[in-house]
Every structure is written in structure tokens, then in C-alpha cells.
Amino acid sequence: MAAAAATLARRITRSGVLPLCRRLPVWGRAARRPPGLPLAPCRAFSNKKIQVDMNESSGVATMKFKSPPVNSLNLDFLTEFCISLEKLENDRACRGIIITSAIPKIFSSGLDITEMCGKSTEHYTEFWRAVQEMWLRLYSSNMVTLAVVNGSSPAGGCLIALSCDYRIMADNPKYTIGLNEAQLGIVAPFWFKDTFVNVVGQRVAERSLQLGSLYPAPEALKFGIVDELVPEEKLQEKATAVMAQWLALPDHARQITKSMMRKAVLDLLVAHREEDIKNFTSFVSKESIQKSLRMYMEMLKKKKS
């Protein structure tokens, strides 16, 4: 059974379903510890912007965004995120990741707008490639991915949550989530849109994207953007329970099902990556778009005063 699954997975990997995952799914590849031995200690690695704690006994890693003030996704953050994902993906003891924030009230403010303002074409190219890479890795991950949205999560922050297998959000109407790009005068790329459609369906995605809607947590639940609302103090407990439920299944069956569901959307970006980068750089370089982004940044600053 395990051998057959591995052969199938190898074929799928060759045909490009999971273009970035190097591991082959195997039956229950959790670290197996003979009964009676003491629990393995937690391993941790932390760079500047993300703290990762790996619980070796459960096979679950927790990734905490810690990039003040608002966990915006700049080039350094995206690079660190990709490296952390790759490390965990290649770690046979790791079967699941919980993605959350260490910054109170903010999950992530989305792409760092300053990375898209007044920079060179080379910079936009490098930045956009990093955004694509982050999504490709997360969306195609073999691990169970669980977003614990413990604060507001607009645009790119919402994309991270949407790319996970399951979303739990803190039950606080002050926290909002959604793909609000239209409010900035920019357009969510096709793979943001496809990820959104795969979670909420065509109608909700179309309306939300056109209006650039940011939904307070209760509405986000109503429209299926998140799967559950949980009181903030119960998030950790709930995340552990949800993860245990997902990890109770044989890895290979879940992984092959996941790649089957996500293959078409992943393949589309892989096939059109360079074109997508060109579209982004030419779009964001337009003076009208630069003006919109500058105005939006000014609006954010004015809101404070």
C-alpha cells in the first residue's frame, strides 16, 4: 500500500502536480517514537521576521510572524518565509504547520506597498518572483497547513490564509480579512483570484473582488472565507485539536487528494510565471498605479493623525 502510494506520488510529482515539493508522500510519516521513551524536545529556528517552533512529538511546527509594525510582506519577509517552508517541507518529522502572528491584532497587512512604489523594474521583478514563490510553496505543500488568523488580514495576508488547508479566525469583529486590492486601485492577479474561488466559490469571489471587500470576522465566516471563529484565548487549543484531526488520516491519501484539488491552479501559474511577472511589472510601473498606491499610503498615515 505504502509502496503503491509512493509510486503514484512520484508519477504525480513528475507530471508537475506539486512542482516545488521534493518529498514523496509516504504512509504516516510522522516521527515514530518507541513507547516509553521521553518526549523529543521542541526544536526552534528563528530568523528576523518569523519564529518557527517544531514540536517533534506531534510533528507540528508553529510559524509565528513577528515583523512589526504590521507583518507586511516585503522581500526579506517573503524570502524568510520560503526558506522556512522549504526547511519544514524537507523535514520528514514535520507533518503539519500552524501559521499565526506574534503581533497583536494583526495577522499580516499583506504585500508591503513600499516594495511596489518608486522602485526599478528589476526590483519589481525580484519582488514579484518572491511573492509567486511563497504562494507556490504554500499552496502545494505536502504538510497540513492551518492558518490561525489572530488579527486583521487584508490582501496578501488573506492570500496566505486562503492558501492553507483550514482557517481559524479570532472571534473579534474588529479583525477584518479579504482581498481588498480593488480599494487600492490595483487588481488581484489570476492566481489570487483562483485561490479565492477555490475556497468561497465564484459568486462570493466575484462580488468580493470587484468591491475589494474586507469582511469583519463574523461575515468572513458567513461567506466561507474562514472555517471557524474561536475566542482569541482558545485559538491555540482549537488549532491543536484541528491539526490532530487532520493528521489522523494517512498522509499519502490526504496529500494526493490535496494535489488533485489544487493541480490546475498551480499548473497555470507555473506555466505562465514569466508572463505574470511581466504583467505585474508593467502594471505597477504605470504612473496612474503609482499615484493610487501613494495616495493609499498617505491615507493610511492620515488615518493615524
Ligand X SMILES: CCCCC/C=C/C(=O)SCCNC(=O)CCNC(=O)[C@H](O)C(C)(C)COP(=O)(O)OP(=O)(O)OC[C@H]1O[C@@H](n2cnc3c(N)ncnc32)[C@H](O)[C@@H]1OP(=O)(O)O
Closest CB to ligand X: residue number: 110
Q: Which of residues 276-295 bind ligand X (CB under 6 A)?
A: 280, 283-284
Residue 40 and residue 215: Cα distance in Å, rounded? 41
The one among 3, 301, 302, 305 contacting ligand X by CB under 6 A: 301
CA distance 57 to 239: 16
Which string of x and - marks every residue 76-115 that binds ligand X (by CB under 6 A)? ------------------------------x--xxxxxx-
- Report, in Å, the least distance between residue 66 CB and ligand X: 15
Q: Which of 181, 214, 229, 235 is catalytic?
A: 181
Distances (CA, A) of 272 to 12, 47, 102, 189, 284: 20, 32, 35, 12, 18
Which residues contact residue 13 at a Cβ distance below 8 angstroms, ignoring those fewer than 6 apart?
A: 21, 24
Return the number of the residue (62 or 109) whose C-beta is nearest ligand X: 109
- Segment 206-265, which members bind ligand X (CB under 6 A)? none
Cell 462580488 sits on residue: 207
Q: How far is the CB of 33 from ligand X (least distance, A)?
A: 41
Q: Which is nearer to ligand X, 188 or 269 (CB)?
A: 188
Site residues for ligand X, 167-206, by CB under 6 A, read 180-181, 184, 186-189
Give the Cα separation of 70 and 110 in Å (integer): 9
> How many positions of this chain bind ligand X (CB under 6 A)?
28
Region near ligand X per CB under 6 A, out of 5-13, 220-228, 266-274, 297-305: 297-305
| Nearest Cα to Cα of residue 134 among 180, 85, 88 | 85
Query: Which of these segments, 3-11, 34-42, 44-52, 153-161, binds ligand X (CB under 6 A)?
Result: 153-161
CA dist 261 → 1, 27, 196, 219 (Å): 22, 20, 14, 26
Whether 180 is catalytic is yes
Cell of 91: 523535514
Residues paired with residue 153 on neighbouring β-strands, in sequence order: 177
- Looking at the Cβ atoms of 14 and 304, the one nearer to ligand X is 304
Residue closer to ligand X (CB basis): 90 or 282: 282
x-marked contacts with ligand X along 111-150 as a string, rule CB under 6 A: xxxx------------------------------------
Residue 172 appears among annotated catalytic residues? no
The answer to whether residue 214 is catalytic is no
The amino acid at 269: L
Is residue 14 at the binding interface for ligand X, with CB under 6 A as the rule? no
What burial class does residue 122 get, using C-beta atoms within 10 Å of its C-beta: 0-12 exposed, 13-18 middle, 19+ buried?
exposed
CB of 88 or CB of 127, closer to ligand X: 127
Decide if 164 contacts 99 (C-beta within 8 A). yes
Q: Which residue has the cell 483550514?
A: 166
- C-alpha dist (Å) from residue 222 to 161, 183, 213: 16, 22, 14
The three three-digit cell numbers of residue 232, written as one number: 482569541
Least distance between ligand X and beta carbon 126 (Å): 15
Give phi and psi for 100, each to the nearest 5. -150, -175
85 part of the active site? no
Q: Which residues are catalytic?
A: 111, 156, 180-181
Q: Which residues bind ligand X (CB under 6 A)?
A: 69-70, 72, 106, 109-114, 152, 154-156, 180-181, 184, 186-189, 280, 283-284, 297, 300-301, 304
